[in-house]
Amino acid sequence: MLKTSIFTMEAPMAIATLTPTGANRTLARAPKHDVLPMPPLEYTDEVAKETAHLYERVKDVVPAIEWPFFAPYIKAINDLKEQRNAVILAHNYMTPEIFHCVADKVGDSLQLARLAGETDADVIVQCGVHFMAETSKILNPEKTVLIPDMEAGCSLAESITGADVRLLREAHPGVPIVAYVNTSAEVKAEVDICCTSANAVQVVESLNAPKVILLPDQYLAQYVASQTDVEIITWKGACEVHERFTGEELRAYRESDPNLRIIAHPECPQDVLAEADYTGSTSQMTKWIEDNKPAKVVLVTECSMADNVAADIRDVEFVRPCNLCPHMKRITLAKILDSLVFMREEVEVDPSLIERARASVERMVNLNS
């Protein structure tokens, strides 16, 4: 059995480890669609009646006092989707009123990438962060892809550039490079294949190489290294949500209730994963809870995830160690409605990058799909 070792390549002095906000992002272009009238946003008896079934779904996680504010936006968004032939793709970290009440398809990054490639809608509204919208555009260059807030970024995506990847390739000639999907289009265009937290181990092992570069998340790379004999070279990036969790924090939860089950995301540090009963992506977390039905569980990830799972699985008690993602929380019902009314915040990807970036994403999507 090969000894697993991890090497961290620091960013060169000339290239900052964290690039300025928006540095890897493409700009929105001028709208090419007709602007529609802004729908009325009053909470009427009709709105209450048409959204009652949706509130029934989220009543355990959305306070009743908030529903009269949310409901008019929800009705307006759902009506406009039909007019625009739009599909709303929502990540598992969206708030419940988005995830359960306006989203057409939901999931983790891998699921959303696959769904983006399958949709026949003319317009994709990406309720997530910018790299997710870029991925949808890469897979659907002919479609209109909107993100309700162009500034919804990601600390991982902003930790590395295409130039950094080229330097890594020069330093390690012949070593395959895997990019976490939480990266910009320019990074995806420079690598051999992408991965998500759900399939990172599978992707690395599919390369049949003794050594692999896995970037930019150092903690995901450490997790993959613990699950395989492949030697991993990584970059010093991290998710600002998951890196804040500590093993000490989880031990305190365990001491307070020995029957508590702890489920952690692989973007967490190793001392956190050592305390977990299960480690997996957000979709894998959900499946584990569905299959095992623990009496009480703590999800060590972004806190909206627990709300969304709790709305569907009501016989499990969720303990919430609440670390919010400030970027995911930039996506709101009001901004989704604005996107559909004005068709603004359209995501474009440099045409010179699309083919190469698509190849690395499709290699991932097609792996045992």
Q: Dump the DSSP string for 296-333.
A: EEEEESBTHHHHHHHHH-TTSEEE---B--TTGGG--H
**Residue 5: is its pLDDT beyond 50?**
no
Domain spans of the chain, in order of start = 6-19+156-239, 45-155+329-342, 242-324
Tell which wins on pLDDT, 15 or 23. 23
The annotation status of 66 as a binding-site residue, yes or no, is no
The annotation status of 266 as a binding-site residue, yes or no, is yes
Half-sphere exposure of 7 (CA within 13 A, CB side): 12
The annotation status of 175 as a binding-site residue, yes or no, is no
What confidence tens digit (pLDDT) does each residue in 352-366 have? 999 999 999 999 999
**Residue 36: is its pLDDT beyond 90?**
yes
The annotation status of 165 as a binding-site residue, yes or no, is no
Question: Taking Cα atoms as reference points, which of 170, 270, 153, 273 lies closest to residue 213?
Answer: 170
pTM for this structure? 0.88
The class level of CATH for 242-324 reads alpha beta
The annotation status of 182 as a binding-site residue, yes or no, is yes
Q: Across all residues in the chain, what is the average pLDDT? A: 91
What confidence tens digit (pLDDT) does each residue in 317-334 have? 999 887 899 999 999 999
Query: Once rounded to an integer, what is the mean pLDDT over residues 92-120?
Result: 93
- Cis amide leading into 20 (omega within 30): no
- CA dist 308 and 136 (Å) reads 23
The annotation status of 339 as a binding-site residue, yes or no, is no
What confidence tens digit (pLDDT) does each residue in 37-84 have? 999 999 999 999 999 999 999 999 999 999 999 999 999 999 999 999
The annotation status of 194 as a binding-site residue, yes or no, is no
The annotation status of 100 as a binding-site residue, yes or no, is no
Q: Where are the alpha helices (DSSP H) in the chain?
A: 45-58, 67-84, 96-99, 109-118, 130-139, 162-171, 185-188, 200-206, 218-227, 247-256, 270-273, 282-292, 304-312, 333-342, 351-365
DSSP H/E element including 184: none
Domain 45-155+329-342 part of CATH 3.40.50.10800: yes
The annotation status of 239 as a binding-site residue, yes or no, is yes
The annotation status of 267 as a binding-site residue, yes or no, is yes
Classify domain 6-19+156-239 by CATH number: 3.40.50.10800
**Does the fold of domain 45-155+329-342 match that of domain 6-19+156-239?**
yes
**Residue 310: is its pLDDT beyond 60?**
yes
The annotation status of 195 as a binding-site residue, yes or no, is no
Q: Which residues pair with 213 in a beta bridge?
A: 177, 233
**Residue 184: is its pLDDT beyond 90?**
yes
